[in-house]
Amino acid sequence: MNELEAKPGGMETAAAATAVDSSSPEEIARAAERFQDLFAKLRAEVARVIVGLDEVVEQTLIALVAGGHVLLEGAPGVGKTRLCRTIAGALDLDFGRIQFTPDLVPADVTGTTIVVEGDDGRKRFEFRPGPIFANVLLADEINRATPKTQSALLEAMAEGGVTAGGQTRAIAPPFCVVATQNPIELEGTFPLPEAQLDRFLFKVAVPAPGVADVVRILERTTTGAGPEATPVATGADVLELHRLARSVPAAPHVLRDAASLVVATTPPADGAGDRSDAGVGRWLRLGASPRAAQSMILGAKVRALAHGRPCASVEDVRALAAPALRHRLVLTFEAEAEGLTGDELVARLLRQVGEPGGER
């Protein structure tokens, strides 16, 4: 079972999936309408607090509903932390925050076992859970912690549980890690290893606001307490949205498009001829894994329902190609010397592969 499939205690059960498959067309249509309505309410409530980041909000919500995790990258002060808090507030979910620093240790993330003394005077071991036991976990400035501490998140992100003190403890679903990092190299930062980057469903780029957006931010935040999100959905609603999204069909040509995009990122093998004939792969030391294709398809299903369509399309896949691929591509030194970026290579990739049969 791969990392994006349903897990014990996770988002979906086989019985629930069977219930969707056996529903009548009228029931499926009503469920799709409810999905679109609830997703729109969530998007509107978050947008009431967060200014000018509509695409960022949508991609983050898509990842949450798809059951994945998000890496937000943007300059300091553009609203990454507030976005995470707002989404948790709009969903009435437990929110946890970890401020990553170089002196943070894994137990600060997962929790630790301590010795306590009972009323009878006897001592016993007791587990004190860490902040990771939340529905929405903000891993703030994740690249400021050491690789050992960063890896403390890996099991939770992949399995929805934490092993501590010789016992595995499940994290109640829904569970989403929203990590933030700055796009610039600063003193005291540690790059995220490729294995951990691959655990994030999307890497979402948070742009700097324009003049009009800054004015709106000032109007909202300098004249009072500022707006706060109010709950418009619950954790149970998120689980239901996830279950519905997984029931959305994706035609063979849509699956093939996602697979073609991923395979096209494979670098040429050593001695396999002229790298100039390898397309985008010539600029990569490491391409995307099948997990990237899973991210695009799962995200495409959520996006299709959110936009009122009953099945995922090539358009949905390609709209999410950049957030699904940009953090999974490791560039060569030649690419970096040429000033190429992951986003530019994704754009070239979309042109190189082309849409199957021109269908959207």
**C-alpha count within 13 angstroms, C-beta hemisphere, residue 56:** 27
Model confidence over 50-95: pLDDT tens digits? 988 999 999 999 999 999 999 998 888 888 888 999 999 999 889 9
Instruction: Quote the pLDDT of residue 277.
Output: 53
pLDDT at 24: 63
Report the percent of the chain where pLDDT is more than 70.
87
Tell me the residue length of the chain.
360
Into how many domains does the chain fold? Answer: 2
pLDDT of res. 360: 40
| Statement to judge: residues 258 and 320 lie in one domain | yes
222 and 330 both lie in a single domain: no
Q: Kindly report the CA angle at 209 between 206 and 213, in degrees rounded to 5?
A: 130
User: Do 239 and 283 belong together in one domain?
Assistant: no
Decide which of 178, 213, 247 is a domain's last residue: 247
Instruction: State yes or no: pLDDT of 302 exceeds 50.
Output: yes
- How confident is the model at residue 278, as a pLDDT? 61
Domain boundary among the residues 224, 247, 270 is at 247
User: Does 118 map to a domain?
Assistant: no
Q: How many CA atoms lie within 13 A of 168 on its CB side?
A: 8
CATH code for position 158:
3.40.50.300
Segments forming the whole domain that contains residue 23: 1-101+132-247
Instruction: Copy the structure tokens of residue 231.
Output: 């709950």
CATH, residue 351: 1.10.8.80
Give the count of beta carbons closer than 10 Å to the beta carbon of residue 119. 5
> What does the pLDDT read at residue 159?
86
Q: What does DSSP say about strands 176-181 and 70-73: parallel, antiparallel, or unpaired? A: parallel
Residue ending a domain, among 215, 247, 279, is 247
In terms of domains, do 94 and 197 share one? yes
pLDDT of residue 184: 59
Residue 121 is assigned to a structural domain of this protein: no
Is residue 310 domain-resident? Answer: yes
* pLDDT for 3: 41
Judge whether 89 lies within some domain: yes
